Each structure stands twice: as structure tokens, then as C-alpha cells.
Amino acid sequence: MKHIIGCRCVRCGSIYPAAPDITICSCGGILDVLYDYDAVKSKLTKDILCARTDHTMWRYREILPIEEDTTPRGLRVGSSPLYDAPRLTDQLGIGRLYLKDDGLNPTGSLKDRASAMAVTKAAEAGYRTIGCSSTGNAASSLAGNAAAAGIATYIFVPARAPKGKIAQLMMFGAHLTVVDGSYEETYALSKAAIEKYGWYNRNAAVNPYLSEGKKTVALEIVEQLGFKAPDYVAVSVGDGCTVAGVYKGFYDMVQLSLCDRIPRIISVQAAGCCPINTAVMTGDGWIQQEENTYADSIAVGVPRNADKAISAIRDSGGIAVNVTDDEIRAAQRTLGKTVGVFGEPAGVAATAGLIKLCEQGVIERDATVVSIVTGNGLKDIDSAILSVGEPPHSQSDLAAFERLINDNKV
Ligand SMILES: *Cc1c(COP(=O)(O)O)cnc(C)c1O
Ligand SMILES: [Zn+2]
């Protein structure tokens, strides 16, 4: 990969060649892919990008870690819509709010960006099987993208994973194991199994290419805003791979002079599980926490990408904010009603955090903000119905319906 200098450890600075199945540094630190931006600059300009007809995440392949002759694998990932949200903008009293709906990716979450990268790298390295542990979306997106690529998957999810995600995994033909334990215990089992059987490792903790896939969400935002960065970008945070990817995407665009700055990151975690935000707020290292939130995709008590995530939030001049499950439910209804976007609980957590900061007067009244919706609400119908309630029933005659209307039941 001529456009790549190597992979640098975020802890000790050691640099390794970018092998397709590289994992972590010998010191235990996670790796970050280093690009030769000077070499890329002339190959990825505004004009070149605008003329491109590839509307997938691979339209940015000059700053993605794949070989020049590699054919990308997996499903059609990326180019999710960036919605203008005028009614919610007014409600929040800010300059302009956009919603990046990544729940519209093929398996319904932003994780597709990492999984398409994982199956492409696994195929490059000649692997036939990939292993991963996940709270749900990393698994279902891996299973779908691997099915498309003809690669087998062994997947471990904690028992609390919602039915919709389990259904996806079974449909995509994954070898699925539901682990009776926390995400931490699930992760440990997957690690042991991957080592024992020699599968390609799609754990975001150890695979530096996954946040490179996820960064394409930020590359798209810059392009969709006409090569500008917003003032803030709100992201929900679990393991920390997504927020690290978002930072990296804006960083790349600045290095390539395709936008002028990195937006301030609003890092949103659940109040019942917020080790990364706690570390950002206190300035100390992160400490393991319990996983007390119904937003399953961000219930990560032992974040594996904490180092990258904490530097991303700090270096962007970011803000950490925690939200309760009730605040997440309220944001889910607000997004549905005012924008027409239905996100899963973790998917709307970023917007819940933004709403909270606006109510506290923290966000300037002329600010432009992008809030990323990371997962589709149809993945977790049970918690959605708990949040909105059951609908009214009527007999099939007009008089019965009129009684409902007159009683304000519909
Ligand atoms: C995985 C996920 C996140 C958080 O991403 P991390 O990389 O774990 O921080 C947020 N929302 C949804 C819907 C997810 O699936
Ligand atoms: Zn190191």
C-alpha cells in the first residue's frame, strides 16, 4: 500500500508495516494507520471526488487501507443521507442541525462501514473465516457483509442482545453463540476462540482497519456539507472505535485541505455506563464500569478503544455528556416525530446528548451541528414499543372510530 506509511501504536509510538491481519502493539497499545498525505493530495481533490460515480464508502479508497488492486467486498455500504432538520433546529435554538442517518446502511447500522472493511481485509489476507464478539450490530453487520463475500463467521453475543439483531445473525447464516454473561465475558471468550482456531479478528479493539472504515462517515459529512466541517459533531460512544473513526475522518480531510478544521466532538454515553466520558471529565485514566443501560450497543463497561477515543474527544476540544435511559427514549420519540428518523436506543443517544447540552445553554445559538444516528430502530422493536406504548384499537365501524377521536385517543 504505497499511500500508507505504516501503523503507529497510540501508546508507545512504535511503527509497524501495515500487514492485512495486524492486530496490536507488543506493548498492548492499539494501532493507528498513518497515510502519506502528500502522495494522496493530488489524487483526491474536490474535483476528482465530485466527478466520482461510486456512491459507496470506497469512493475514498485513496485514504483507505486497502491495496490498489483490491476489489472491495461486502454489501453496498455508505452514502447515507444527511438530513436537514429544520423543526428540531428551531426546537433546540441553534444555527442548524443535520442528522446523518447511518441506520440506512444495508444491515441497519454504522458498523457496516467497519464490517465491509473487515471482510475486504480478511479476503486480502486469504482468510476464509472471521470471528468477532459484539453487543449486536458489529456481529450482524459482519455476518451480512461476510455472507455477501462468501466468508464464514463465528460470532459471540451477550444474552441481552435484542431479538432483531439475533434474527439478522441467524438469517445471514452466522455460526452464532449467545454467551450467558456480560459483553466483557463475551469478548474474552471470542478472543480465546479466535486465537485457538486462527480466524481473522474483527474485534474493533485490536483491528486498526475498522475505525478506518468507520471514518468514512465523517468523509461523507464533509462532502455533503460542500467541503465544510460543522462546528460540532455528536457521536454515541461504546467501545470508542466509532468516535475515533469520526475524528480520523475529519483529520484526514484537514490534511488533504478538503476542509478547514476538525469539529468539536460531543461524546455521548449512557449515564449507566460511561467509562470513557468519566475519563474525559476527570482527566484520569478510564476505569471499568457496570453496564446499566438499555442502549445495548453502547453498554460497554470495558472500552477497548479508550485510548484512541479519549484523545479524539480531547484533541477536538470536545464535550462529554451522559444521558439517562429516559432521555434516550425521549430523544427517540423526538427524532421520529420531528425528523422522520427511527433510531435504535444507542443510535439516538448522540441526539439525546445534544438536546441536553442545548437545554443547558452549552451550545452556541449560531452553531452548526451534525448528529450521527448510528443504528436503525427496527432492530429493537420491544424497547421502542415500551417507549411509545401500544396503539388504540377500534371496531370496524365509523361510530367506534368517532368515539376514539372524540376521546382524543387517536
Ligand atoms: C457500536 C455502536 C455504537 C458505538 O460505537 P463504538 O465503536 O462501540 O463506540 C453506537 N451506536 C450503535 C448503534 C452501535 O452499534
Ligand atoms: Zn506500543
What pLDDT does 134 receive? 86
Helix H or strand E segment including 60:
none
Instruction: Return the DSSP state at 278.
Output: H
All three cell numbers of 266 = 460531543
Give residue 22 CA to ligand 2 midpoint distance, Å: 13
How many Å apart are CA 231 and CA 158, to the nearest integer?
37
Q: Which of 137, 277, 307 to mutate to test the pocket of ligand 1 (most atoms within 8 A of CB)?
A: 137
Mutate which of 133, 202, 206, 239 for ligand 1? The one with the most ligand atoms within 8 Å of its CB, which is 239
Q: Which cell goes with 246?
A: 469520526
Neighbours of ion ligand 2 (CB under 5 A): 9, 11-12, 14, 25, 27, 29
Distance 10 CA to ligand 1 centre (A): 21
Of ligand 1's listed atoms, the one at least distance from the Cα of 235 is 10
Torsion sign over Cα 319, 7, 297, 284: negative
The partner residues of 130 in beta bridges, in order of sequence, read 153, 200
Quote the CA–CA distance of 204 and 305 in Å, as a whole number: 8
Query: Which-ligand-closest: CA of 26?
Result: 2
Q: Determine the atom of ligand 1 nearest the C-alpha atom of 137.
A: 15
Q: Which ligand is nearest to the CA of 31?
A: 2
Closest C-alpha to 106, from 82, 84, 134, 78: 78
CB atoms within 10 A of CB 241: 27
Expressed in angstroms and rounded, the spacing between residue 8 Cα and the centre of ligand 2 is 8
CA 126 to chain centre: 27
Rounded CA separation 187/184 (Å): 5
Instruction: Please report the pLDDT score of residue 184 as a whole number.
Output: 84
Q: How far apart are CA 342 and CA 33, in angstroms?
A: 34
Cα of 138 from ligand 1 centre, angstroms: 8
> pLDDT tens string for the chain (410 positions)?
889 999 999 999 999 999 988 989 999 999 999 999 999 999 999 999 999 999 999 999 999 999 999 999 999 999 999 999 999 999 999 999 999 999 999 999 999 999 999 999 999 999 999 999 887 899 999 999 999 999 999 999 988 888 888 999 999 999 999 999 888 899 899 999 999 999 998 887 788 999 999 999 999 999 999 999 999 999 999 999 999 999 999 999 999 999 999 999 999 999 999 999 999 999 999 999 999 999 999 999 999 899 999 999 999 999 999 999 999 999 999 999 999 999 999 999 999 999 999 999 999 999 999 999 999 999 999 999 998 999 999 999 999 999 999 999 99
pLDDT score, position 102: 98
Ligand 1 closest atom vs CA 211: 7
Question: Which atom of ligand 1 is nearest to 237's Cα?
Answer: 9
Mutate to test the pocket of ligand 1, among 99, 142, 236, 305 (most ligand atoms within 8 A of CB): 236
Residues comprising the chain, all counted: 410
Residues having CB closer than 6 A to ligand 1 are: 109, 111, 137, 204, 236-243, 297-298, 300, 344, 346-347, 374-375
Q: Whose CA is nearest to atom 14 of ligand 1?
A: 297
CA distance 246 to 248: 5
Instruction: Calculate how far, in angstroms, residue 127's C-alpha sits from the geometric centre of ligand 2.
Output: 26
- Residue 265, helix vs strand vs coil: strand
What is the CA(31)–ligand 2 centre distance, in A?
8
Most ligand 1 atoms within 8 A of CB, residue of 111, 132, 211, 302 to mutate: 111
As a whole number of angstroms, the distance between CA 163 and CA 123 comes to: 30
Ligand 1, from 133, 217, 297: best to mutate by most atoms within 8 Å of Cβ? 297
Which residues, at least 6 apart from 282, have a Cβ–Cβ distance to it below 8 Å? none
| Nearest alpha-carbon partner for 182 in 135, 115, 244 | 135
Residue whose cell numbers read 444521558: 323
From the list 208, 263, 205, 216, the residue with the least C-alpha distance to 238 is: 205
Residue 194's contacts (CB-CB under 8 Å, 6 or more residues apart) are 131, 154, 201, 203
Distance, CA of 47 to CA of 374 (rounded, Å): 29
* CA-atom Rg of the chain in angstroms: 21
Q: Which of 80, 77, 67, 173 is nearest to 123 (CA)?
A: 67
